[in-house]
Amino acid sequence: MSTSSIVLETVKVTKRFGDFVAVDEVSLAIPSGSFFSILGPSGCGKTTLMRMIAGFLEPTSGDIFINGKSVLDVPPNHRPVNMVFQHLALFPMMSVADNIAYGLRRRSVPKSEIAQKVREILDRVGLPDAGPKQINQLSGGQKQRIAIARCLVLTPDVLLLDEPLGALDLKLREHMKVELKQLQHEFGTTFVYITHDQSEALVMSDQVAVMNAGRFDQVGSPQELYFDPKTAFVAGFVGDTNRWSGRIDTVDAGTLQLVSNDGFRLLGHMASGQSLQPGAPADIFVRPEAIIIAREAGQLGDIANRMSGRVTSVLFNGANSRIIVHDSASDSEIFAALPQTGEFSDLSKGQEVHLGWSADKAVVFASRNHDRN
Partner 1 sequence: MRSSSGVKVGLILLLAPLFLWLFLLVILPHVDMFAVSMRTRVAPRVYELSLENYAAFFTEPVYWRTFMRTAVMSILATFLTLLIGFPVAYYISKMLRGRLKATAFVFCMLPFWVSELVRTYGWMILLRESGVLSSVLQWAGIASGPVEMLYNDVAIMVGLVYTSMLFMVVPLITTMDSLDDSLIEAGYDLGGNGFTVMREVIIPHAMPGIVSGCIVVFMLTLGNYLTPVLLGGKDSLWFTEMIYDQFITRFNWELGSAFGFLLLALSSAIVWLGLRLSRQSLSEAMT
Q: Which is nearer to partner 1, 83 or 225 (CB)?
A: 83
- 31 to 49, 67, 73: CA distances (angstroms): 18, 10, 23
330-354 as b/e: b if 16+ CB within 10 A: bebebbbbbeeeeebeebeeeeebb
| DSSP secondary structure string for all residues of 85-122 | BTTB---TTSBHHHHHHHHHHHTT--HHHHHHHHHHHH
- Smaller CB separation from partner 1, 89 or 297: 89
Which of 69, 372 has the CB closer to partner 1? 69
Q: Give the DSSP H/E element, type plus range, for residue 187.
A: helix 170-187
Cβ at position 30, least distance to partner 1 in Å? 19
For the chain, where are the E strands, in sequence order? 6-17, 20-31, 35-39, 61-66, 69-70, 81-84, 158-162, 190-195, 207-212, 215-220, 242-252, 255-260, 265-270, 281-286, 292-294, 305-315, 322-327, 332-337, 352-357, 362-366
Smallest gap from Cβ 188 to partner 1, in A, equals 20
Residues within the interface to partner 1 (CB under 8 A): 54-56, 75-78, 82-83, 85-87, 89-94, 102-103, 106-107, 150-151, 154
Nearer to partner 1 by C-beta: 83 or 366? 83
Identify which of residues 64 and 353 has a Cβ nearer to partner 1 in the complex: 64
Least distance between partner 1 and beta carbon 89 (Å)? 4
Closest contact distance (angstroms) between CB of 83 and partner 1 is 5
Nearer to partner 1, 94 or 294 (CB): 94
* Minimum CB distance to partner 1, residue 356 (Å): 51
CB of 149 to partner 1, least distance (A): 12
